[in-house]
Amino acid sequence: MEQLKRLNPITLFCYFFAVVFLTMFLTNPCFLAVSFVFSVLFSTFLKRKFELKPFIFAVLTIIFFTIVNVFFSHNGLTVLFFLNGNPITLESVISGLNGGLLITSSVYWFSSLNELLTSDEIISLFNWVSPSFALLISMTLRYLPLMKKRYDEISDCQRLLFPEKKKLRSCFERLSILITWSLEKGVMTADSMNARGYFLKNKSRLSFYPYRKIDFFAEAIVLALLSLCLIFGGGYSVYPVFSGLEVNFIALFSEILLMLLPIFFIVKEVVLCRKFQSET
């Protein structure tokens, strides 16, 4: 994980862009299932533990998407059966499955990205567009986790202070405390930024993320695998006739390799660690 974190933010961003782009581009459930499995695997490896609750939620989301699409879209030619006179088609099942897999795996990939990129790195990534835009992005990405953390802190405190309070009432109280606290913190942040000269013109920034050899190699591999996938992975259709589960072997293989790359980094690090431990 440390090795992954030490990579240049551009490389990391490139990788996640490639992966999410592939997830959106390859419209065959095989590719999407591979993407989903590896996104779950990767986030498990990153967090060092398997979290069951988000996984169950993801699976339920996929099932929900499939069912809703089946009931509301009667497009497609391969009729499985008729439900109250409405055709239920294989194509609508596949399309719903695709949608569910796409959304859940994208969410998983982005959560991993959030884990790897610090807010400093995000700022340095988007600085070339506009510094205020970069700041905005990094603050938005940080906002919700921060709110949750604060809310947990408040509720711990409130539980200890007033254990006999009614549930709903205490919930409202916590929310109002949270909002007050966040506003206060916001004002403080603005003041602090002002004091440090954030809004001065001609302000330059220092970002120190060295571009090493391994970054170049990683980017080259990612781009090569991405282009392989894009060249060989096209031409699948869902509507009007589903083109079948057979997929191009080269595209599938390069997709799997691409998604294995970060896991390979992590495993290599763990193995090295074990080796050094056993030597000393």
Partner 1 sequence: MKFKIKVFPLLLAAVFLFSGCKIQSSEEYQNEKQAPPENPITVTLEIECQTLKDNLDKGKAAVQKIIPEDYVILEKTEFVVSDGSSVMDLLDSAAREKGLTVNKSSGYVKGINGLSEFSFGSSSGWFYYVNDEKPNLGVSAYSLKEGDEVRFAYTCVLD
Among positions 183, 224, 231, 241, the unique one binding partner 1 when judged by CB under 8 A = 241
Instruction: Please tell me whether residue 146 binds partner 1 under the rule CB under 8 A.
Output: no
What's the closest the beta carbon of residue 89 comes to partner 1, in angstroms?
A: 7
Q: How far apart are CA 115 and CA 16, in angstroms?
A: 12
Q: How far apart are CA 273 and CA 38, in angstroms?
A: 24
Instruction: Please tell me whether residue 270 binds partner 1 under the rule CB under 8 A.
Output: no
Instruction: Please tell me whether residue 210 binds partner 1 under the rule CB under 8 A.
Output: no
Q: How far apart are CA 229 and CA 180, in angstroms?
A: 50
Instruction: Please tell me whether residue 244 binds partner 1 under the rule CB under 8 A.
Output: no
Among positions 57, 63, 243, 245, the unique one binding partner 1 when judged by CB under 8 A = 243
CA nearest neighbour of 41 among 264, 263, 267: 263
Q: How far apart are CA 82 and CA 87, in angstroms?
A: 5
Instruction: Please tell me whether residue 240 binds partner 1 under the rule CB under 8 A.
Output: yes
Instruction: Please tell me whether residue 245 binds partner 1 under the rule CB under 8 A.
Output: no
What's the closest the beta carbon of residue 245 comes to partner 1, in angstroms?
A: 16
9 cis-preceded (ω within 30 degrees of 0): no
Which phi and psi angles does 83 have, rounded to 5°? -115, 110
Bridge partners of 88?
81
Instruction: Please tell me whether residue 99 binds partner 1 under the rule CB under 8 A.
Output: no
Binding to partner 1 in span 66-85, by CB under 8 A = 74-77, 79, 81-85
What's the closest the beta carbon of residue 20 comes to partner 1, in angstroms?
A: 24
Instruction: Please tell me whether residue 63 binds partner 1 under the rule CB under 8 A.
Output: no
For helices 52-72 and 90-116, the axis angle rounded to 10 degrees is 150
Taking the least distance from each CB to partner 1, the nearer of 197 and 235 is: 235
Taking the least distance from each CB to partner 1, the nearer of 9 and 76 is: 76
Query: Measured at the alpha carbon of residue 160, what is the angle toward residues 156 and 164, in degrees to the nearest 5?
Result: 115
What's the closest the beta carbon of residue 3 comes to partner 1, in angstroms?
A: 39
Instruction: Please tell me whether residue 112 binds partner 1 under the rule CB under 8 A.
Output: no
Instruction: Please tell me whether residue 60 binds partner 1 under the rule CB under 8 A.
Output: no
- Binding mask 165-204 toward partner 1 (x if CB under 8 A, else -) reads ----------------------------------------
Taking the least distance from each CB to partner 1, the nearer of 2 and 246 is: 246
Taking the least distance from each CB to partner 1, the nearer of 72 and 208 is: 72
CA nearest neighbour of 212 among 12, 7, 5: 7
Per the rule left: phi > 0, alpha: psi between -120 and 50, beta: everything else, 197 is left
88-123: burial string, b at 16+ Cβ within 10 Å, e else:
bbbbbbbbbbbbbbbebbbbbbeebbeebbeeebbb
Q: Provide the binding-site residues for partner 1, judged by CB under 8 A.
A: 74-77, 79, 81-85, 87, 89, 235, 237, 239-241, 243
